[in-house]
A and B are shown apart, each in its own frame.
Chain A
Amino acid sequence: MKRLIPITLAALLLTGCGSPVNATPSVGPSQIKLPIVSSGEMPKYKRVVALADGSAEIVASLGFKDYLVGRDIASTMPELKNIPVDTDAHQVSVERVLTQKPDLILIDSNTSPTSALNTLKQTGIKIVSIPSSFSLANIPVKEAAIANALGVMKAADLLKRDLVSATFAPSQTKVVFLYLRGTASIYLVGGKGSGADSILEKIGVRDVGAENLKTPFTALSAEALIKMNPDVILLMTKGLDSVGGISGLVSLPGIAQTSAGKRRAIVTVDDSLLLSFGPRTAPMLPLLRNAIDKVAK
């Protein structure tokens, strides 16, 4: 009997500040299977080095994983583990690329250094620049650009369907996306154009960050957060680790005073997944919506 008293007391206290969340749902790459379409087309190139961020996973999704001979560091899914990475600390290694004898190289505006790209150009290999994607709307564009380079447009159309067909019931849950790198003193709130705004809009929840902030990222301020008063806080998994987990997070000024902070209603998504905006984005959406609904009550 005696043991029950503190528990009941604790329960009473906790109901005073809303029902607490027991676990922090987390969405990771292992929960997602890379969608792969099969269009029966024959690509124009047989040996592809995909250096543009996330381009390797798109090539694989289009159904041509076997044509990949080198990949970028951002395409992290387990299916691509056996394909060699051709960059060193985000710098392209010419020698490594050449040993794979590619006939097509996919790059984007982030691919560097320019000198390495020039050398590759002089060897006569076809190099195609792919647009980067920073929101849901960019995904089909990027996929189409890669499909176009390979000459497999039917596959791109098939792949697009996943994203278009996904619909979610609207919800009044207020979510805010925080970009945190505690060890570097980076504490940012996602606003309009953060990328997360397009995801939250798609899955039918309210992004109070985007409703209040016109710029993609704004330094976290306690008052601004309290004013938004989110029900759920969305973070990247390593972002939460970098501030010392949940207890570190709620000790940041302002967090503990929000509805989400009081109830520890936190959802995390793997760092390389959340803003990857590629073929894994569509399967991620229902998982994220589920996780948010689970802690939103």
Chain B
Amino acid sequence: MKRAWLYLLMTSILLGLFFLSLQVGVVHLHSSIWDLIGKHDGVDAATVWEVRFPRAMGAVIAGAALGIAGALSQGIFRNPLAEPALIGLTSGSILGTIAVISSGMAAFGSRTNVESAILFAALSAFLVYWISPSKGFGFLITGIAISAILIAISGLLISISARPGIQSLSFWNFGSLSLLSSHTVRVIAPFCEFGFILALFVSRRLDIYSLGESSAHYLGQNPKRTRALAIIALAFLIGPVVSAVGTIAFVGLLVPHIVRLLVGPGHRKALTYNAFVGAILLLIADLLARMLFQPHEIPLGLITSIIGAPALIILLRVKNSQWVAHD
């Protein structure tokens, strides 16, 4: 019963924020959103359907994907501070995107772009996993080292290539929804959806996996398979988002902590909440990015860092009993 209420609450908040995202902005609307449904002519309709709608959809998709990806990474690395960026997924996605743009194979925001990002993300994560000497600290250091190399290669490609749409390193580091078009939203949505479904499937294994790899094996689960499936799911969640909007820091890290406070530690039952909370957080962050210094717009990644980092510290201090660190 409690869960039904929580779903209802989250759905209403999400819809409310989505509506607000369509409603507010620099352009003052002369007609209400309801009157604009089905219309395509005029400044109001263009603003709402061509600019605000894809942007809000982008925030929902990216937020949900990052929230789920955060929960999945913390589960699979059994570490409350794990996030996709730590295991090379984000830097892999950036390199994958830049590689196809700089070679002239595809334009920014295209399908080839997204596919390459997913492929590189998965390859980087497997590479980190494969060459890391141990599963704990060594794993983290390997992830950071590989990420640094991938970012350096990306930076090199950016500086020697002058292809349109390659974007600067700062764009990739501080993500922004400002370049997101409705076309790109349509391109990334199905990939992220596949990632959601795979993540749902993996999350059923993560509760058992949380007891440790040997324990998982004793209880009948192949931990290697769990990990491989999780990395593939993560690549499908992170690749499309990063290739379209760049890195959005702290959402993946913060969301699972909020969700554990709300519904407890289970991965399986918490997964959809991670999607909800991620989408809500990103809609709020994007509203702030757009509205705070009108008509100037601030990169979304800056907002999430400014809000996310202190929030994370507070969460960890207030309720550290949700997670006990070993090792």
Q: Which of B27, B107, B162, B180 contacts A223 (CB 8 A)?
A: B27
Residues 122-137 (chain B) with a chain A CB within 8 angstroms: none
A-B contact pairs, 10 of them (CB 8 A): A182-B164, A183-B162, A219-B297, A221-B290, A227-B26, A229-B43, A244-B107, A244-B165, A253-B50, A253-B181
Tell me the nearest residue of chain A to B101, going by C-beta. A183
* Contact residues in B for A182 (Cβ distance below 8 Å): 164-167
A218 engages B295 (CB within 8 Å)? yes
Can you add 17 more A-B contacts, CB < 8 Å, to A187-B179, A223-B47? A182-B164, A184-B167, A213-B295, A218-B296, A219-B296, A221-B178, A221-B290, A221-B297, A223-B25, A223-B26, A223-B52, A224-B26, A226-B47, A248-B164, A253-B178, A257-B43, A257-B51
Residues on A facing B (Cβ under 8 Å): 182-187, 212-213, 218-224, 226-227, 229, 241-245, 248, 251-254, 256-257
* Contact residues in A for B164 (Cβ distance below 8 Å): 182-183, 241-245, 248
Residues 100-131 (chain B) with a chain A CB within 8 angstroms: 107, 109
Residues 280-313 (chain B) with a chain A CB within 8 angstroms: 290, 295-297
Q: Which of B51, B162, B181 contacts A242 (CB 8 A)?
A: B162
Residues 7-62 (chain B) with a chain A CB within 8 angstroms: 25-27, 43, 46-47, 50-52, 54-55
Residues on B facing A (Cβ under 8 Å): 25-27, 43, 46-47, 50-52, 54-55, 107, 109, 158, 161-168, 170-171, 178-181, 183, 290, 295-297
- Given the complex of chains A and B, what is the CA–CA distance between A183 and B167 in angstroms? 5
B26 engages A253 (CB within 8 Å)? no
Tell me the nearest residue of chain A to B295, going by C-beta. A224
* Contact residues in A for B107 (Cβ distance below 8 Å): 244, 248
* Contact residues in B for A222 (Cβ distance below 8 Å): 51, 55, 178
* Contact residues in A for B25 (Cβ distance below 8 Å): 223
- Given the complex of chains A and B, what is the CA–CA distance between A245 and B171 in angstroms? 21
Tell me the nearest residue of chain A to B298, going by C-beta. A219
Tell me the nearest residue of chain A to B52, going by C-beta. A223
B296 engages A183 (CB within 8 Å)? no
Chain A nearest Cβ from B274, distance in angstroms? 28
* Contact residues in A for B26 (Cβ distance below 8 Å): 221, 223-224, 227
Q: Which 9 A-B pairs have the closest CB atoms?
A: A244-B164, A185-B171, A257-B46, A223-B26, A185-B168, A222-B51, A224-B295, A185-B167, A223-B25
B47 engages A221 (CB within 8 Å)? no
- Given the complex of chains A and B, what is the CA–CA distance between A82 and B295 in angstroms? 47
B183 engages A251 (CB within 8 Å)? yes
Chain B nearest Cβ from A146, distance in angstroms? 35
A221 engages B295 (CB within 8 Å)? yes
Chain A nearest Cβ from B301, distance in angstroms? 12
A-B contact count (CB 8 A): 88
- Given the complex of chains A and B, what is the CA–CA distance between A244 and B50 in angstroms? 21
Chain B nearest Cβ from A182, distance in angstroms? 5
* Contact residues in A for B183 (Cβ distance below 8 Å): 251
Chain A nearest Cβ from B192, distance in angstroms? 20
Chain A nearest Cβ from B166, distance in angstroms? 5
- Given the complex of chains A and B, what is the CA–CA distance between A224 and B28 in angstroms? 10
Given contact pairs A223-B27, A251-B183, A183 touches B47 in the complex (Cβ within 8 A) = no
Chain A nearest Cβ from B242, distance in angstroms? 15
Given contact pairs A183-B161, A226-B43, A254 touches B51 in the complex (Cβ within 8 A) = yes
* Contact residues in B for A220 (Cβ distance below 8 Å): 178
* Contact residues in B for A226 (Cβ distance below 8 Å): 27, 43, 46-47, 51
B295 engages A183 (CB within 8 Å)? no
B181 engages A251 (CB within 8 Å)? yes
Chain B nearest Cβ from A180, distance in angstroms? 10
Chain B nearest Cβ from A63, distance in angstroms? 39
- Given the complex of chains A and B, what is the CA–CA distance between A183 and B54 in angstroms? 23
* Contact residues in B for A221 (Cβ distance below 8 Å): 26, 178, 290, 295-297
Tell me the nearest residue of chain B to A181, going by C-beta. B168
* Contact residues in B for A241 (Cβ distance below 8 Å): 164
Q: Which of B47, B165, B167, B180 contacts A257 (CB 8 A)?
A: B47
Tell me the nearest residue of chain B to A238, going by C-beta. B162
- Given the complex of chains A and B, what is the CA–CA distance between A257 and B25 in angstroms? 15
A212 engages B179 (CB within 8 Å)? no
* Contact residues in A for B170 (Cβ distance below 8 Å): 185
- Given the complex of chains A and B, what is the CA–CA distance between A254 and B43 in angstroms? 11
Chain A nearest Cβ from B151, distance in angstroms? 16
- Given the complex of chains A and B, what is the CA–CA distance between A256 and B25 in angstroms? 18
Given contact pairs A185-B167, A244-B165, A253 touches B43 in the complex (Cβ within 8 A) = no
* Contact residues in A for B166 (Cβ distance below 8 Å): 182-183
- Given the complex of chains A and B, what is the CA–CA distance between A161 and B25 in angstroms? 46
Chain B nearest Cβ from A248, distance in angstroms? 5
Chain B nearest Cβ from A142, distance in angstroms? 31
- Given the complex of chains A and B, what is the CA–CA distance between A157 and B6 in angstroms? 78
A223 engages B171 (CB within 8 Å)? no
- Given the complex of chains A and B, what is the CA–CA distance between A77 and B109 in angstroms? 38
* Contact residues in B for A243 (Cβ distance below 8 Å): 164-165
- Given the complex of chains A and B, what is the CA–CA distance between A220 and B179 in angstroms? 10
